[in-house]
Amino acid sequence: MAEISLEEFARSLVANVLASAEAEGTTTPEMFAQLMLEDLEVAGEIENYFLAYHKAHGLEIHGFGVNSALSSIDLFVVEFRQSPLLEKLHKAPAEAAFKRPLQFLRKVAEIKNAVDEGVDIHDLCVGVEKALLDASRVRVFLLTNCLSTAPPPPPDVFNGLETTFEIWDLARFHRMASSGAQSEPIVAEFEQPLPCLAVPRTGDYSVILGVLPGQVIADLYRDHGTRLLELNVRSFLQTRVKVNSGIRKTLLETPEWFLAYNNGITATASEVDFVRNDNGQQGIRRIHGLQIVNGGQTTASIYYAHTRDKADLSQVHIQMKLTLLKESQIAEVVPEISKYSNSQNAVTLVDFSSNNPFHVNVERITRTLWAPAVDGSGVETRWFYERARGQYADAEAKARTPAAKKKFKALHPTKQKFTKADLAKYMHCWDMLPHWASRGSQKNFAEFMIRLEEATAKENAPQVDVPFCHRLIAKAILFKSIDQMARRNGAGSFKAPVTIYTMSYLAKATNQRLDLERIWRDQRLSPATAAAIDSLIDYVMPVIVNPKSGNHAGEWAKKEACWSAVCDIRWKLPAELESELLPSPITDPVGSTSEPGPEITLHPDVTEVSSIPPEEWFAIQRWAKETQTLEPDQRQRLAQVGRRLQASEPIRAAVATDVLKLRQKAYAVGFRI
């Protein structure tokens, strides 16, 4: 991600909060809380949060969350300033702000009894009381767009619960947004330096071998949870890192043999601080940017055996191989480390693929293309390919003045932005692989990258040049146009699979002879193409919404049998469209379309959630609110998933499992599309 200055980030943040608050009819502090908590949840800092605001004498709260991995209840309070200037938050007001959520916690029962049951704060009180029953610690977060001048207060104890305090200020949010990573890098500091052996530097990396005490591993997971495992492919794909029974047995019965039995962990870091003891032995004092890329199950199992089973870790040690990498190497090297550390098929996640030459070239060329004017104004625009998450927002933030921002939006309309996940979907639809495109953004993209890598190895990958990018954008226009027509034709919550299958069937029916260059020149479909699609949707939709063998429509669309059924429909290509077709097919195949690549081990709940249209999640949320069927935090979670799907953002496996249960409950008690 291109780095923007702190001042530019501050202005962009305030402008976004003000505009979003006005659009949604809420206050700026509440909107700031919503936007920042969404980012923190994506970063893995928090999970399962609920927003509601309450303020009284000496107390204030903007929401709470429950972190199951850390067994914590999280309290959120906001200090938002509408001025885009870099205002400072000093120690005294920060400490006062931290006290207000704890005062709320003291009076939660009293507040619950004093407010009406129909208001959000009553639901928050109920949720907090339930969470307190299982919590072993309290975390208090102060979210602010000011610059904090002092560290947070030291850990304390509240009603017998360990209590910690965190300040997320403007600088910290800026670091997270501009680092290119989804979350703030972890810095692990060791009171007792870890003995280690540093292997001589080889090329652009170096390796350090060491042995970690079991208690150190447990403490790291306690403090950082699954954030330690963000680059661990297997943990990302699982609902949760399950406790391995063999590891648990060793920890409880023969902990002194753990080092001999366990394969250890493989980790990466950006920097290590070394010290030497009195005997001249080298040790590790700090590890910057720590990530465990293999051994996530070992890490979590040690933590849970210690906290749940009260395992004594004094005799437990774990070997560690730590690879030091430059930040620019992480996206390329970490998947390879993970691949060679495991026997499973490697999975390259969306965020790891940004530096692939294919995507770099698509970005480079599309940045030079001017889309022809379509409204008679003579004003040309550009399509914005977001190779890395947040590039569009960064580019907009660099437009400092309102006039410059308006010009940027005019030249780069939001509707002309598309992501790597979108690209994979357009390509697979045109290549007549709708059952892959229907399996959700992550799985579809992973399959696309596997096919691309296979084609590259065979020197058969598409050549990314100006004509290719013209055709790619034409496919985007085609997909977006079909999507709009499917909505108008009443596809409802099945709009996504209807759009995907309609585009694939059109490619098949025309033998991929649509004039994509004409679509690029016109920046719209021809009347004959639009009329044909309007007719075709009526044939495709019944096959999608009436699945065979009792399948749910979302699951049905992911099966090759669904594509076979759609291919069997009897739809005649209109003569008007046939007269416009090219004499030969236009293909940009990414690998073979005859056989799918290796099965991607995405957790099935992530796949299922991604296959359900965002509209359905929003519909369940609205219905649940009207009927008071689900808890408020559960309704918010449904809406958050809908927004993530709309933005092609990843869904965490634990969240996927949770919302699928909520969806099942909603259907069981009367919800219907």
Residue 340, judged by CB atoms within 10 A of its CB (0-12, 13-18, 19+), counts as exposed
Residue 166 pLDDT greater than 80, yes or no: yes
Helix ranges (H only) for 225-291 are: 233-237, 245-253, 258-261
pLDDT recorded at residue 205: 86
pLDDT recorded at residue 233: 43
How would you classify the pairing of strands 187-198 and 161-168?
unpaired
Q: How many angstroms separate the CA atoms of 26 and 15, rounded?
A: 15
At 237, is the pLDDT very low, low, confident or very high (cuts 50, 70, 90)? Answer: very low
Q: What is the DSSP letter of 183?
A: S
Type of residue numbered 582: L
pLDDT recorded at residue 347: 37
Residues with Cβ within 8 Å of 180's Cβ and at least 6 positions away in sequence, in order, are 1, 327, 388
Looking at the chain, the whole-number percentage of residues with pLDDT higher than 70 is: 85
Q: How far is CA 437 from the centre of its chain?
A: 18
Q: What is the mean pLDDT of residues 34-56?
A: 82
pLDDT recorded at residue 595: 40
Q: How many angstroms separate the CA atoms of 210 and 671, rounded?
A: 55
Residue 463 pLDDT greater than 50, yes or no: yes
Q: How many angstroms separate the CA atoms of 331 and 341, rounded?
A: 16
Q: How far is CA 164 from the centre of its chain?
A: 26
**Dihedral angle over CA of 244, 247, 252, 257, nearest 10:** 180
Residue 507 pLDDT greater than 90, yes or no: yes
At 345, is the pLDDT very low, low, confident or very high (cuts 50, 70, 90)? Answer: very low
- Count other Cβ atoms within 10 Å, centred on residue 36: 22
Q: How many angstroms separate the CA atoms of 86 and 147, rounded?
A: 7
Could you give the C-alpha distances from 619 to 111, 359, 441, 611, 657, in angstroms and in order? 31, 35, 21, 15, 19
Write out the H or E segment, with its range, that includes residue 397. helix 391-397
Q: How many angstroms separate the CA atoms of 543 and 466, rounded?
A: 37
3-state secondary structure of 205: strand
Q: What is the mean pLDDT of residues 503-509?
A: 95
Whole-model pTM? 0.48
Across 29-43, 168-182, 422-436, least confident range: 168-182
Tally helices (H) and strands (E) across the chain: 29, 17
Could you give the C-alpha distances from 591 to 210, 212, 597, 645, in angstroms and in order? 42, 44, 9, 27
Q: Which residue has the higher pLDDT, 458 or 73?
A: 73
Q: Which residue has the higher pLDDT, 118 or 640?
A: 640
What does the pLDDT look like over 111-133, one tens digit per residue? 999 988 767 788 788 889 988 98
Q: Which two tokens stand for residue 255?
A: 């902990």
Q: How many angstroms separate the CA atoms of 363 and 372, rounded?
A: 19
At 353, is the pLDDT very low, low, confident or very high (cuts 50, 70, 90)? Answer: low
Average pLDDT over the chain reads: 83
Residue 234 pLDDT greater than 50, yes or no: no
Residue among 361, 571, 350, 504 nearest 442 (CA): 350
Q: Is the CB of residue 104 less than 8 Å from the CB of residue 125?
A: no
Q: List 189's β-bridge partners, or say none.
A: 286
Residue 572, judged by CB atoms within 10 A of its CB (0-12, 13-18, 19+), counts as exposed
Residue 336 pLDDT greater than 80, yes or no: no
Looking at the chain, the whole-number percentage of residues with pLDDT higher than 90 is: 39
Across 138-142, 189-193, 588-592, least confident range: 588-592
Residue 96 pLDDT greater than 60, yes or no: yes
Q: What is the mean pLDDT of residues 135-156?
A: 93
Burial call 133-168: b when 16+ CB within 10 Å, e when fewer: eebebbbbbbbbbbbbeeebbeeeeeeebebbbbbb
Residues with Cβ within 8 Å of 366's Cβ and at least 6 positions away in sequence, in order, are 382, 383, 384, 385, 469, 473
Q: How many angstroms separate the CA atoms of 399 and 414, rounded?
A: 15
pLDDT recorded at residue 322: 93
pLDDT recorded at residue 387: 82
Q: Is the CB of residue 199 less than 8 Å from the CB of residue 209?
A: yes
Q: How many angstroms separate the CA atoms of 167 and 414, rounded?
A: 33
pLDDT recorded at residue 328: 66
Q: Which two tokens stand for residue 68?
A: 């199951």
DSSP notation for 468-487: HHHHHHHHHHHHHHHHHHHH
Q: What is the mean pLDDT of residues 233-237?
A: 42
What does the pLDDT look like over 271-329, one tens digit per residue? 999 998 777 788 999 999 898 888 877 888 888 888 878 899 999 999 999 999 876 67
Residues with Cβ within 8 Å of 661's Cβ and at least 6 positions away in sequence, in order, are none
